[in-house]
Amino acid sequence: MNQTAPTAAPRRGREGREGRGASAAPAARVVRPGMASGKYKPLSDDDMRRIHDTALDVLENIGMGDSNHERLLHYALPKGCKLENGRLKFPRALIEDMLAVNATSSVAYGIDPRYDLELKPNRVHYGTSGEAVTILDYDTQHYRPSTLVDLYDAARLVDQLEHIHMFGQPFIASEHSDNSFTHDMNTAYAAISGTRKSISLGVAEVRNIDPLIKLFDTFVGEVGGFLKRPFCAFGGCPVISPLRWGYDNLDVMIRMAELGLTADIAIAAQAGATAPAALAGALVQTFAETLACLAVVNMIKPGSTIHFGMWPFISDLRTGSFTGGSGEEALITACTTQMCNFYNLIASVPSGMTDSKTVDAQYGSEKAMTTLAASLAGATFISPYPGMVGSLLGQSFEGMVVDNDMLGSILRVVRGVEVNDTTLSYGVIHDTVFGAGHFLGNPQTLELMKTEYIYPQVADRRTAGAWEEGSKETVYELARVKVKQMLGSHYPVYVEPATDARLRELFPITLKPDDMKAGNGRW
Amino acid sequence: MNQTAPTAAPRRGREGREGRGASAAPAARVVRPGMASGKYKPLSDDDMRRIHDTALDVLENIGMGDSNHERLLHYALPKGCKLENGRLKFPRALIEDMLAVNATSSVAYGIDPRYDLELKPNRVHYGTSGEAVTILDYDTQHYRPSTLVDLYDAARLVDQLEHIHMFGQPFIASEHSDNSFTHDMNTAYAAISGTRKSISLGVAEVRNIDPLIKLFDTFVGEVGGFLKRPFCAFGGCPVISPLRWGYDNLDVMIRMAELGLTADIAIAAQAGATAPAALAGALVQTFAETLACLAVVNMIKPGSTIHFGMWPFISDLRTGSFTGGSGEEALITACTTQMCNFYNLIASVPSGMTDSKTVDAQYGSEKAMTTLAASLAGATFISPYPGMVGSLLGQSFEGMVVDNDMLGSILRVVRGVEVNDTTLSYGVIHDTVFGAGHFLGNPQTLELMKTEYIYPQVADRRTAGAWEEGSKETVYELARVKVKQMLGSHYPVYVEPATDARLRELFPITLKPDDMKAGNGRW
């Protein structure tokens, strides 16, 4: 294929042009959380119905194992579930009923209301996520254990990154990994100290829920205040695939439903290992497992909200290891998403789980492929794992910044093309052909510059000449500079000093005040 | 979002498992050229009709400038076109008629018939492309002028890369840039010496066509042999946007139609510079410009084949420069594709035109985003620019190898999920739950390992531990090793010695025989 090399149009001074539009009102933002999507439909309606039907067969006839759990049975048996040999079986009609009463939308409250996210099918949002255990250190390229102060830094970074709409706990504070209470109180504290966006936490044990709520009530200065605007979701994985309950997180999920809070779950059965290798079969099983969770929370309280975290994972069948960056993963996640939208569920799906160990071309390629697929399929709540590397092993801060640009671009794709008399531009074409001969100075161009086009923060659009004259940086290097700027300067005081003192009195907070001020030498 | 870290399933020895399936017949390949697609539809049917209608208004009332071209008018005026002030105007009915007679499929012949590509709407194929002018040197990270021997190397590389289905000339031989005859004869020679796949060449002047055909006839050993199986497409950009003809490539296009060959064109109007900034308007204009070409070749010979190369490009409106890696580019290309499929045209579109200057995370992200969008929209003939960097300025060989993996993964997404009684896997789930408890050793898993799952060549799926114990390579570094292996060993003799002597006698071939043998020290 031959084509004329694109010609740079006459340069007009970036500064002058950037100046225009700078005052664009928020409503005119090029992209925003909750953009409508769903124009990629990998499955036929019949495919989805067959997967659904088979999942219901699975729940009715095979059921969920390890179901001798008192609270579970307390709710499930009166509704018509049957316990046989420790397996809880769900009648088809019960599942259909629970699907019918399940809430089809929810609000993920921000700590600051301007970060509230209205979650409903086919509306795209991005958040961090993970429970990784390491940080990929930029200088040494070594995966070192993640710590509490890293988590505070991650929260501060997300606080500044436009296209990461909420802060889900991306990794653990490894110094507290032997004590889930100390761990969970500290991660909650690190999160609220670093960001005003909506947050979510992994909670290992149900006994930590009430103290967490107390911590948040103290933070907002009102007993019961947190439950009025629950800005934190508590999550976990209540299922051990194939088709068994995991008690610690089942307890958390049950408690969420009892409190009227969103159950933020993720069921990550791995095709070829803990789910069938056939992708349709993996969809059947994870749909069944996630439906079992949906049924439980709605048996507890009809109309419960559940982030329908149906996360089929993929194995590299040569080794049996997880591969998060594969084409199969992109595909099956898009299928999951489409099914959720078809059944009016709040699709919570992962993407961006690259198998690359560093922030390289494979990283970018796998992140974009999986995230675009999930986004175009219209997932409501995507964990695109910004900055996550090594098949979910570790977090790169620089990667977060790189991925923020990618997420903005993908949201631009999601937004689509507006077609109307004005945008069709017949008059603009006519006037240009018979007038100036080019469009760069056309009023339409100037008008659309800040409303139709999105510009990256670190992705490099310089000419090759300028790049060679400079330091020939990769975007990873450019992001490093940005991370240092962002983390070296953004030390917000989101917890008032008096509240901070109270929190430190009530809870075993270990995050050092000195680490929460500029000039601490960490960045 | 909390979730259980994926557990590596028991390791079973990669070698033993890889052994199975190795004998899989070609029919069982996981992905292949021409996979059915089109499940991403960014536009509504009404959007497409409005863009189409406006494009026809443009052709009828504004028309194409610089139309005082004898051969053009020879064909166009008798069909009802009107020439007014140098602009050729196309009646709506004429365009509709030409759309109706235009060929809706074609074969891109391979030099070897097993590489024949059946081109029809909604069937995805990938090829190189470009007319870049430089090579990004791996060691120095310097963009140096591309040469003839580089082109030969690129052909040999494509010859070995499974997911690049044809070899379009990716860059020029700069040492011959002052003489288009020597240039074109040599690039043709380099292509047929390096690959047996279908090829395409940029042809600057129509007078080179007959000598090229003679060269190819000599190659196949039969006068008229080339036209029986035309394994090379001749291309160019016959339009200078907005809405004017460029004579050199218009001549080539007219000659193609006269010879009954495919017109391989690319109309790259740049939104915000040579097309409206409004994306809908850019679609209108490029659709009009490409339809004008379609009309011309079908006025010459009804039923002509044209690769409908509607390539709207995007500007970074801050500078007016081309940005090929943007979200807007991914989106508008998907829209183009959908329109082509709607009107039964052979969609020829670009992707992968990253603005990154090297093979980094931005490179991977922009390549994957744009290529997945075009692929899911179902483009027939995608130029994903494997290895191209710097907004189409230069070629990276290592990038080609990196991108081959990406293309395989994307084709896996395109393939979709087969849903049937077997793949739904109810029995497999049942037996596993009540039996082994995991799926890794299940016969279904072993059976699907080589037919449902695709494995990368260089993309790294090692554990982070293995990566740290090794040299902590990026995929760019891994690809460098692969490129050296591939180009150091693959010196096929695709041109028989006697034929080679004859070609060198007839044409001013400058590619040195010593550079076409192993052990030449170049790799």
Query: Quick check: B51 contacting A, CB < 8 Å?
Result: yes
In angstroms, the CA B394 to CA B391 distance is: 8
Nearest to B462 by CA among B450, B478, B480, B484: B478
Residue located via tokens 């996640």: A333
Q: Are B495 and B196 in contact (CB under 8 A)?
A: no
- Asked whether the predicted pLDDT for residue A1 surpasses 70, the reply is no
Cβ A2–B203 below 8 Å, yes or no?
yes
Contacts of B256 in chain A (CB under 8 A): none
In angstroms, the CA A126 to CA A119 distance is: 11
In angstroms, the CA B491 to CA B195 distance is: 10
Residue located via tokens 């580089």: B150
Contacts of A198 in chain B (CB under 8 A): none
Phi and psi at residue B389, to the nearest 5°: -135, 165
Nearest C-alpha in B relative to A252? B2
Specify the range with the lowest mean pLDDT, choosing from A13-27, A73-87, B343-357.
A13-27
Cβ A476–B281 below 8 Å, yes or no?
no
Q: What is the pLDDT of residue A235?
A: 86
Cβ A433–B131 below 8 Å, yes or no?
no
Query: Quick check: B354 contacting A, CB < 8 Å?
Result: no
Q: How far is A258 from chain B (nearest CA, A)?
A: 19
Summarised one tens digit per residue, pLDDT across range B247-297 is: 999 999 999 999 999 999 999 999 999 999 999 999 999 999 999 999 999
Q: What is the pLDDT of residue B236?
A: 87
Contacts of A396 in chain B (CB under 8 A): none
Q: What is the pLDDT of residue B8?
A: 39
In angstroms, the CA B104 to CA B101 distance is: 9
DSSP class of residue B10 equals P
Summarised one tens digit per residue, pLDDT across range B30-85 is: 999 999 999 999 999 999 999 999 999 999 999 999 999 999 999 999 999 999 99
Contacts of A119 in chain B (CB under 8 A): none
Q: What is the pLDDT of residue B137?
A: 98
Nearest C-alpha in A relative to B15? A318
Burial A229-252 (b: 16+ CB within 10 A, else e): ebbbbbbbbbbbbbbbbbeebbbb
- Asked whether the predicted pLDDT for residue A75 surpasses 60, the reply is yes
- Asked whether the predicted pLDDT for residue B3 surpasses 80, the reply is no
Chain centre to alpha carbon of residue B225: 25
Nearest C-alpha in A relative to B392? A5
In angstroms, the CA A237 to CA A129 distance is: 13
State mean pLDDT over A247-273. Answer: 96
Summarised one tens digit per residue, pLDDT across range A484-522 is: 999 999 999 999 999 999 999 999 999 999 999 999 999
Which residue type sits at B414?
A: V
Q: CA dist B168 to A41, A470, B129, B382, B510, Å?
A: 31, 32, 5, 11, 20
Q: CA dist B163 to B382, B400, B454, Å?
A: 12, 10, 12
Dihedral sign computed on CA atoms, order B354, B357, B361, B362:
negative
> Rg of chain A's alpha carbons, rounded to an integer?
24
* Burial bucket for residue A100 (CB in 10 Å: 0-12, 13-18, 19+): exposed
Q: What is the pLDDT of residue A6?
A: 41
Query: Quick check: A425 contacting B, CB < 8 Å?
Result: yes
Structure tokens at A141: 């390229």
Nearest C-alpha in B relative to A465? B143
Q: What is the pLDDT of residue A130?
A: 83
Cβ A243–B433 below 8 Å, yes or no?
yes
Contacts of A62 in chain B (CB under 8 A): 429-430, 433
Cβ A365–B360 below 8 Å, yes or no?
no
DSSP class of residue B31 equals S
Summarised one tens digit per residue, pLDDT across range B228-245 is: 999 999 988 999 999 999
Q: Are B36 and A408 in contact (CB under 8 A)?
A: no
Q: What is the pLDDT of residue B167?
A: 98
CA dihedral of residues B94, B98, B99, B100 (deg, nearest 10): 100
Nearest C-alpha in A relative to B468? A142
Question: What's chain A's average pLDDT?
Answer: 94
Helix (H, G, I), strand (E, B) or coil at A430: helix
Nearest C-alpha in B relative to A16? B318
Q: Are B506 and B218 in contact (CB under 8 A)?
A: yes
Specify the range with the lowest mean pLDDT, choosing from A177-181, A204-208, B8-12.
B8-12
In angstroms, the CA B425 to CA A279 distance is: 9
Share of chain B above pLDDT 90, in %: 93
Contacts of A39 in chain B (CB under 8 A): 40-42
- Asked whether the predicted pLDDT for residue A119 surpasses 80, the reply is yes
Q: How far is A520 from chain B (nearest CA, A)?
A: 30
Nearest C-alpha in B relative to A18? B318
Contacts of B461 in chain A (CB under 8 A): 316, 319, 321, 323, 355, 391
The pLDDT-based confidence of A2 (bands split at 50, 70, 90) is: very low
In angstroms, the CA A454 to CA A451 distance is: 8
What domains appear along chain B, each with residue ranges and CATH number?
Answer: 105-238+262-287+302-415 (3.20.20.480)
Cβ B367–A364 below 8 Å, yes or no?
yes
- Asked whether the predicted pLDDT for residue B25 surpasses 70, the reply is no
- Asked whether the predicted pLDDT for residue A430 surpasses 80, the reply is yes
Residues of chain A by 3-state class (helix, strand, coil), percent to 5: 45, 15, 40
Structure tokens at A487: 């983390």
Q: CA dist B18 to A218, B450, B455, B462, Å?
A: 57, 8, 11, 16
Peptide bond into B242 cis (omega under 30): yes
Cβ A439–B399 below 8 Å, yes or no?
no
Nearest to B44 by CA among B35, B36, B52: B52
Cβ B2–A243 below 8 Å, yes or no?
no
DSSP class of residue B491 equals -
The pLDDT-based confidence of B28 (bands split at 50, 70, 90) is: low
Q: Are A128 and A159 in contact (CB under 8 A)?
A: no
Contacts of B188 in chain A (CB under 8 A): none
- Asked whether the predicted pLDDT for residue B89 surpasses 70, the reply is yes
Contacts of A406 in chain B (CB under 8 A): 365, 369
Structure tokens at A364: 């970018």
Across B231-294, the runs of DSSP E, i.e. the strands, are 232-236, 239-240, 244-245, 263-265, 270-271
State mean pLDDT over A193-213. Answer: 96
Nearest-by-Cβ selection for A369 from B282, B409, B464 = B409
Q: What strands, in cross-sheet order, belong to the sheet with B143-145?
A: B143-145, B134-136, B394-395, B388-389
Nearest to A391 by CA among A362, A415, A361, A420: A362
- Higher-pLDDT residue of A276 and B17 is A276
Query: Quick check: B32 contacting A, CB < 8 Å?
Result: no
Q: How far is B498 from chain A (nearest CA, A)?
A: 30
Residues of chain B by 3-state class (helix, strand, coil), percent to 5: 45, 15, 40
- Asked whether the predicted pLDDT for residue B510 surpasses 60, the reply is yes
Peptide bond into A242 cis (omega under 30): yes
Alpha helices in A454-519, H assignment, sequence order: 464-469, 475-489, 497-506
Summarised one tens digit per residue, pLDDT across range A128-184 is: 998 899 999 999 999 999 999 999 999 999 999 999 999 999 999 999 999 999 999
Nearest to A439 by CA among B336, B315, B291: B315
Nearest C-alpha in A relative to B45? A419
Chain A contacts in chain B segment 139-178 (CB below 8 A): 141-143, 168-169
Q: CA dist A121 to A102, A103, A344, Å?
A: 13, 11, 6
- Asked whether the predicted pLDDT for residue B19 surpasses 60, the reply is no
Cβ B327–A409 below 8 Å, yes or no?
yes
Cβ A429–B399 below 8 Å, yes or no?
no
Task: Give the number of other CB atoms < 10 A from CB of residue A24.
Answer: 13
Nearest-by-Cβ selection for B439 from A272, A366, A373 = A272
Cβ B372–A368 below 8 Å, yes or no?
yes
Q: What is the pTM of this model?
A: 0.95
Q: What is the pLDDT of residue B23?
A: 38
Q: How far is B208 from chain A (nearest CA, A)?
A: 15
Cβ B6–A270 below 8 Å, yes or no?
yes
- Asked whether the predicted pLDDT for residue A475 surpasses 80, the reply is yes
For residue B495, the surrounding DSSP H or E stretch is none
Contacts of B467 in chain A (CB under 8 A): 357, 390
Chain B contacts in chain A segment 224-263 (CB below 8 A): 233, 235-237, 240, 242-243, 246, 249
Structure tokens at B344: 């039964």
Contacts of A242 in chain B (CB under 8 A): 429, 432-433, 437-439
In angstroms, the CA A446 to CA B310 distance is: 25
Q: Are B335 and A417 in contact (CB under 8 A)?
A: yes
Cβ A331–B402 below 8 Å, yes or no?
no
Dihedral sign computed on CA atoms, order A430, A435, A438, A444:
negative
Contacts of residue A514, Cβ cutoff 8 Å, sequence gap at least 6: A520
Structure tokens at A227: 């439950």
Q: What is the pLDDT of residue B72?
A: 98
In angstroms, the CA B372 to CA B367 distance is: 8
Helix (H, G, I), strand (E, B) or coil at A4: coil
Q: How many helices (H) and strands (E) does chain A have?
A: 19, 22
- Asked whether the predicted pLDDT for residue B20 surpasses 50, the reply is no
Query: Quick check: B28 contacting A, CB < 8 Å?
Result: no
Q: How far is A282 from chain B (nearest CA, A)?
A: 8
In angstroms, the CA A263 to CA B510 distance is: 70
Share of chain B above pLDDT 70, in %: 95
> Rg of chain B's alpha carbons, rounded to an integer?
24
The pLDDT-based confidence of B452 (bands split at 50, 70, 90) is: very high
Q: Are A476 and A394 in contact (CB under 8 A)?
A: no
Structure tokens at A30: 């090029």
Q: What is the pLDDT of residue A422?
A: 97
Query: Quick check: A200 contacting B, CB < 8 Å?
Result: yes
State mean pLDDT over A380-391. Answer: 98
State mean pLDDT over B223-228. Answer: 98
Nearest to A424 by CA among B276, B123, B15: B276
Q: What is the pLDDT of residue A60?
A: 98
Contacts of residue B432, Cβ cutoff 8 Å, sequence gap at least 6: A242, A276, B438, B439, B442
State mean pLDDT over B495-506. Answer: 98
Cβ A281–B423 below 8 Å, yes or no?
yes
The reply to whether ipTM tops 0.90 is: yes
Helix (H, G, I), strand (E, B) or coil at A391: coil
Helix (H, G, I), strand (E, B) or coil at A460: coil
| β A82-84/A87-89 pair status | antiparallel
Nearest to B477 by CA among B490, B494, B459: B459
User: Rounded to the nearest 10 degrees, what angle do helices A45-57 and A92-101 cross at?
Assistant: 120
Nearest-by-Cβ selection for A449 from B2, B236, B317 = B317
Q: What is the pLDDT of residue A28?
A: 62
CB pairs under 8 A between A and B: 609
Contacts of A141 in chain B (CB under 8 A): 468, 472
Residue located via tokens 């391979």: B110
Query: Quick check: A29 contacting B, CB < 8 Å?
Result: no
In angstroms, the CA B236 to CA B200 distance is: 10
Q: What is the pLDDT of residue B171?
A: 97
